[in-house]
Every structure is written in structure tokens, then in C-alpha cells.
Structure 1
Amino acid sequence: MAATKNPKTTLLHCLLHWEVTQTHRVYMTQPYADGRVVDYTWVEVASQVRRMATHLRSLNLPPRSNIALLGKNSAHWIMADLAIWMAGHITVPLYPALNGDTAGYILEHSEAKLLFLGKMDGKSDGWNEIAPVVPKGLPIIALPMAPRDDVPQWETIIANTQPLQDLKLPSADDLATILYTSGSTGRPKGVMHSHGSFTRSAEGLNRMLHLSANDRLLSYLPLAHVAERALVESGSLYNGCRIFFADKLDTFPADLRRATPTIFFSVPRLWTKFYLGVNQKLPLAKQKKLFAIPFVSKIIKKKILTQLGLQDVRVALTGSAPLPQELMNWYRKLGLDLLEVYGMSENFAYSHGAQPGNVRDGWIGQAYAGVESRIDNNGELLVKSPCQMTGYYKMPEKTAEEMTEDGFFRTGDRGAFDEIGRVRITGRVKELFKTSKGKYVAPAPIENRIGSHPVVESSCVTGSGLAQPFALVMLSPEAHQRLQSGGQAAMGGELQIVLDRVNKELEDHEQLDFLVVVNEPWTVENGFLTPTLKIKRNIIEERYMPQAEKWSELKRAVIWQ
């Protein structure tokens, strides 16, 4: 089929454009568990998408049906997404780490008519919990690497089906996807986005990142999340970039080195793990000495980036949560111009971000092209984006509640602007709590300070109704190793230093009374973290606050649960 007159209207238009202009160029590279690494060219991807679209049409599902897509990132995840659109339907992605209760709710609430089941193993994901809640009678199609072989298989269908030629492409205003929020409080909401959100975000990001067909991306953060969908899926299809996939956690370093990405987005937890890994091999004190020698410094820094697989990165992004400033500075000294970005599911992650050469410590960055933002009377950041959602699925009242009369979305984040419009997030509006002294405390900035220490994996500052707030902390894997060899006394001393350092930077009413080291991990699977690894504050407080008074009476700086 010939290229369309407007090749960038939707991501489907983009696929058809590259099908004829980059026909035999590799689009996606997929590693498999058996050691194979398979390249899929643009024409091969388009052929598989067309064939699956033919099959979906043959099922005679109601027009514009919601189709669920569950699985870890893979080349066929993106192919399934495109096939759903080509057949005239709407994609409902599910995080592979969901618990059974939430997955069951999404499948029921979305009224999914079919499930594409992708790469899952029941060990590093939630498949064992999700499998029993999949509605009986819901048709399932298994992608390669799916955990079920008793349902129709993608590869069999593709081999026996003709590619769809009679295409009815969507318009930019048609509904493309329902993204269920990760649900830091309560039930997840279904965020509805049109096809235009995908292409408008890609076009806007291009003004800053200048992506081209020569760029390489590594896909490993969940494609069910808006950030990966916006940067990796939309960015690759809009610009003809190449995507590499990671196989599993154990192979991630090798997968990263295979990809040698030119654009790399990650979350603070991984940036921190990279940092700790390098420091374990080359301690900070030794780095300082080596980096002070100009010729040696250049060689060592290049070697560190090469070992990480990041030597070709020209744009490095961090988001989802604040990254401690000292880590940002470390990466920048290493030669990686780490840029912080800010966005939400409701605006397709197209909101604000730092721009090369215009970075200010502690501030995220300016509004993207076409984005308007302001601070409300209560300190809340309001954003109007060209990629704004069309609403929450089946929740008109909630949609109206989260929008202002003039079309701005209420982010729920407290913010401030500097003199040139860079934004800083100072906490969540609804997370403010009051101590017994009548003083309000914003937990997020304090948690960010605590999290800058390598022994802390995650923290939650709380204490509503107490004289002073306190922090619950989950130790990092590195700290657990040291705890086993050095004991509680040594680790307690280190945590005391963390507490003292943090308290020096806080107002009197914010200063932490004590730290509590929790004895159980906070994970997505047990409900303490969202799929994007944010803490579920209400769940954590419900679990630990009943013991707060008892801990306070102990009058200790560090308490072991």
C-alpha cells in the first residue's frame, strides 16, 4: 500500500509510512529465553499487524471494543497494540505486576471483549494471581512467550491468515486507549486518550530531543505505563527509530549493552542502582582523585559509561519521582546530561521537562510547547496540555472534579515557578498532614532527602496527630547485605547520621522524631507500591500507624520493627 498523504496523523499512519520508506530496515530487536535474538523489519512488523487485524475483524466483535493487553514488554506487545487499532478497536493495557484483585477489577470495569496475553512467567510478575481472575469465557490470544499454550497462538494465526488490505484508519480524535492509573490511592481510574495524544506528544518531544531513524531505544519500563508508551512506542513509530527489548532482570546489563541506546529514560530506583554498582567497583574517594586528572578523567568516565551500555546516550531522562540532587550531579560530571521530566497519565506525560543547557538544580523545567500551566490558590499545579485526556472511563463526575471550568487538569501536586517558568514540585496537595501542634507537614520533600542515602530503598514520612512526624524506611539490598555482616548497631549508627543530616535541613515542626526500619519489603505484589514503584501511602499508613504511639514512647532515634 502506498504511503498516506499525511504519514503522521496516527501511529498507524506512521507504521504504513515506514513500511514503504524503510521496508527492510530493522524496527525491533527481541531477545528470547532460549538465547535467540530476533530482528523484525518494518515490513515484517506491518505484515504481522495486518494479519492479526484480519483475524480480529473475523471475530465480529462489537465495533470499537475494548481489548485488554497484558504482558511484559516485547516486540509483539507493540504489534498487538497496532493490530487492535488497525481492526478498529481500543487497547486497555494491564501492568504485568498487578495483583489479582486490581487486574480483575480492570478487566471487569473496562468490559474487555478479548485478552492478548503476552510475556509472563509467574515468578517476576503477577500472573499466578491474575490467572484465576480472568473472566471465564473471555477469549484469549497468546503472544510469543505467553504462559498458556491451550489458547489460540499469535504465530499460528499469523501463519494462516492473509494481511488486511482494506484499511479504515482512525482519525486523531478517535479513542485509542484506556490507561488505568497505577492507583496510589483507591481503585485505578481509566484514563481515555485519543490517537492524537500519541502523535502530538511525539511531535512535541521532537522539538527538544530531535529524534531520527538513527536513534536507538531500550524498552524495559512497563509499556502499560504512559511514559514508555509516549517515548518508546510513540517516539519510535513517529520517527522510525529502532527499539531493543530487555529479556529479564538477570540479562538487563547485557541487553543494555546490546542496545547502546542514544535516548535513555529511567526511574530514580535504577539510576540509583547504577550509581551504587559503579561505586562498589570504584569507590567515590577514588573517583574523586581520578576525575581530578584531566587525561585520566576522560578515559575513566568513558569506561564507566561503556560498562553500563550508556556510552552513546545523547539524551538521558529521569522521571516518575524525584532523583536526589547529588546523584543528578554525579551523572552530569560523568558526562551524562540527565534531564528531569514531569507528566501524568492524564496528559500523556506531555507536561514539563528540563531542557539541555537550561537546567537549574532542584527544578524540573519549563512547560513543553503548547502546554499552559499555573498555580491555584491552594498551591496546586494546574496543567492544560495538547495531549489532555478525554476523560475517565465511565466516571464523568470524577472527570469534572479533576478539571477546572477553563479546561486545566488538577495535578494534585503542589508546585512553584521560578522567574523563567521552570517548575518545582513541593509535594502532594492531599498528602499534607497536621501534627498535634497544629503544624502542616509535606512528606514528599522529606522523603526525597531521606532517599538520597544509598542505604534507603524507599521511605514514607507520616505522623498525623503526633507531636512530630517520623519516617518508615525500607533498607536497600546493599544495606541488607551489610546488615548481615555488620549487625544492627553499625547500620543503626549510619541511619542516625541520615536522620541528623535530614533534620538539619528542615523547619522545627518538620523534623523527624525517629526512623522505623520496616521488616517486610514494600513491593508491587503485596500492594505497598504502585506498578511505577511509588509508595501507596494510605496502605502503608494503615499498616503501621497503629504502632506509632508505642514507637514514640520508646524515645529512640532508630527503631527496628
Structure 2
Amino acid sequence: MSEAPDPTSLAEITLLRARRDASTPFVLTIEEEEPYTVCARSYGEIATRAQVLANALADAGVAPGEFVGCYLRNSPSWVVTSLGVWWCGAVVAAVGTLLPGVEAARLFAMADVKTVVTVSDAPELSGDLQVLRLDDEGLLEGKPDPGDSGWETADLRLPKEDELAVAIFTSGTTGRPKGITHTHGDVAAHARRVAAAYARTSAYRPDPAPPHLAPGAAFSPFGHMNGYSRLGFRMWIGRPTVVVPK
């Protein structure tokens, strides 16, 4: 029997891991005060929250290929939001809440964003934007916690390898902000390359890593590609990721 091909997107990896064992830890946070409690969200929990958001985006009229503004901080919310955007066929336009609302709205205008997903206490955005709000856990405002089931029967659209996944805004050396886009295949290929450098094999690992192995950490403010790179590598090798609030 031939081996299954490697996955080509983080959206696909999420479903593969949830189907294998939905209780597998996916996104971790650590309380900032003693006793420094570790809180784990499973693939099933994150997938269910993302599925709820994907439905909300579709109900809001978001079309495949459309850029959706994601005005978030480094919390589980950006993982949930990214998956929700991808599963409805749209593209993440990533801007962190460290940027003032006026500046964020200007960047979203560059990408022709009409709908924005943001956290409840984020700075106000100027302009005529449709806004969906959630908390740092990725739970939609006014909606109960959906638990860890529901994603299994949902009609989730898996993106193609050459479709756009995310736009990151950077000034580079010009001093003028511009959107740099990455395809789903780009993000998956980066995870594979990092695995080739740090692991025994570059191939996707379908089994979760043993629990005694340390998770990775994503500590950059949301809006940097570093977060997607760090998350993607750990998803590729079956380890969870700690997101550090910022």
C-alpha cells in the first residue's frame, strides 16, 4: 500500500490530527502568575470553534478568495480565526492589535477587506467594515462554548495548495506598507523544510509526538509570519504550541 501524500495546508493538518485523535493537545497557554497553570486546547476544541466561525463568515457573505481582516493578538484566537477563514475559502489579512485601529483599517483597505474578525476589547476600527468579535479563546461573542464536537460533520472547504493563505503587512526597506502573500503550499513547505533541518525526516508525522517532548512556542505579536511558521512546524511533527500573550 502506498503512503498517503504529505498534507498541503495547515487547514488539512488540523483535520488529519483531529480525525486521528481529537483530544490531542494543539494550542497551549501558561498563566502569568503562580502556580503558572498550563491550559491546553485540543484539536477537537480548536476545530469546533473554527467551524463555528467559518459558518458565521459564510453567513456574513464572505466569498472564497476574499481577504478577511484578522485584527488579533497572540492568543488562541488567531489559530481559531485562521482556520475558520481558510475553511470558508477566504484569505487571512493579518494585523496585530498592537497597531492602532486607524492604521489597521488603512492596511485592511489595501487588501480590499470588507469583513474583520477581532477580539472584543480591540481598538475601534474606522471605516465601513463588517466586524465579527470573539474572545481570546476564539469563542464568538454571544455564543456558548461549542465544546469539541461538530467539526466532524461540518462542510469544511479544504484549500488548494496554490491558493492564498495569508497576507502579512510589512514596510520592508521602502518604508511603505505592503501586503506580502503566502499560499497554503508555501506555509506547508516551510514546515517541511524546518523538519528537514531539525528532525530525522522531513516527512509529515501522522502520530502525535510523545507527551514528554517539549512543545514549541510562538511569542511574536500577531501579524508576523513567524507565528504561522512556528505553529506550522509543530503541527507537522505532531507537537503542541504555546502561544505567549502579546
Give the shorter-chain TM-score range. Answer: 0.7 to 0.9
1:140 paired to 2:131: yes
* 2:62 counterpart residue number: 61
TM-score, normalisation: structure 2: 0.80
Q: Is the 8 A contact 2:76 2:136 kept in 1?
A: no
With over 3 angstroms needed to count, the CA separation of the structure-2 counterparts of 1:91 and 1:69, relative to structure 1, is: same
With over 3 angstroms needed to count, the CA separation of the structure-2 counterparts of 1:173 and 1:59, relative to structure 1, is: same
**Offset of residue 101 of structure 1:** 4.9
In the alignment, the residues of structure 2 paired with residue 18 and residue 155 of structure 1 have an alpha-carbon distance, to the nearest angstrom, of: 29
Aligned-partner residue type, residue 222 of structure 1? P
**Offset of residue 194 of structure 1:** 0.9
1:223-259 CA-to-partner distances (Å, cap 9, x unmatched) read 31122221x22112222211112246xxxxxxxxxxx
* 1:384 counterpart residue number: none
* 1:201 counterpart residue number: 190
With over 3 angstroms needed to count, the CA separation of the structure-2 counterparts of 1:116 and 1:224, relative to structure 1, is: same
Name whichever structure is richer in helix by fraction: 1
Q: Is the 8 A contact 1:7 1:13 kept in 2?
A: no
Q: Is the 8 A contact 1:118 1:144 kept in 2?
A: yes
Residues 78-93 of structure 1: matches in 2 within 5 Å? 78-93=79-94
Higher relative contact order (CA 8 A, sep 6+): 2
Aligned-partner residue type, residue 223 of structure 2? A
In the alignment, the residues of structure 1 paired with residue 102 and residue 14 of structure 2 have an alpha-carbon distance, to the nearest angstrom, of: 36
TM-score, normalisation: structure 1: 0.37
In the alignment, the residues of structure 1 paired with residue 84 and residue 178 of structure 2 have an alpha-carbon distance, to the nearest angstrom, of: 25
Secondary structure, aligned partner of 1:156 = coil
Residues 379-458 of structure 1: matches in 2 within 5 Å? none
Aligned-partner residue type, residue 156 of structure 1? K
**Offset of residue 182 of structure 1:** 4.2
Q: Is the 8 A contact 1:11 1:199 kept in 2?
A: yes
1:314-350 CA-to-partner distances (Å, cap 9, x unmatched) read xxxxxxxxxxxxxxxxxxxxxxxxxxxxxxxxxxxxx
Aligned-partner residue type, residue 72 of structure 1? R
With over 3 angstroms needed to count, the CA separation of the structure-2 counterparts of 1:58 and 1:117, relative to structure 1, is: same
Secondary structure, aligned partner of 1:205 = helix
With over 3 angstroms needed to count, the CA separation of the structure-2 counterparts of 1:244 and 1:22, relative to structure 1, is: same
Aligned residues: 229
**1:180 aligns with one of 169, 175, 190:** 169
1:50-84 CA-to-partner distances (Å, cap 9, x unmatched) read 22212222222233211111121111211110110
Q: Is the 8 A contact 1:74 1:119 kept in 2?
A: no
With over 3 angstroms needed to count, the CA separation of the structure-2 counterparts of 1:144 and 1:99, relative to structure 1, is: closer
Secondary structure, aligned partner of 1:27 = strand
With over 3 angstroms needed to count, the CA separation of the structure-2 counterparts of 1:21 and 1:162, relative to structure 1, is: closer
Secondary structure, aligned partner of 2:143 = helix
Q: Structure 2: any 5+ residue segments left out of the alignment?
A: none
Secondary structure, aligned partner of 1:134 = coil
Aligned-partner residue type, residue 223 of structure 1? F
1:74-108 CA-to-partner distances (Å, cap 9, x unmatched) read 11211110110001100000032224553232121
Aligned-partner residue type, residue 244 of structure 1? V
Percentage of identical aligned residues? 20
**Offset of residue 17 of structure 1:** 0.9
**2:231 aligns with one of 220, 233, 244:** 233
RMSD (Å), alpha carbons: 3.0
In the alignment, the residues of structure 2 paired with residue 108 and residue 176 of structure 1 have an alpha-carbon distance, to the nearest angstrom, of: 18
**Offset of residue 12 of structure 1:** 1.1
With over 3 angstroms needed to count, the CA separation of the structure-2 counterparts of 1:57 and 1:36, relative to structure 1, is: farther
Q: Is the 8 A contact 1:52 1:158 kept in 2?
A: no
**Offset of residue 157 of structure 1:** 6.5
With over 3 angstroms needed to count, the CA separation of the structure-2 counterparts of 1:7 and 1:215, relative to structure 1, is: farther
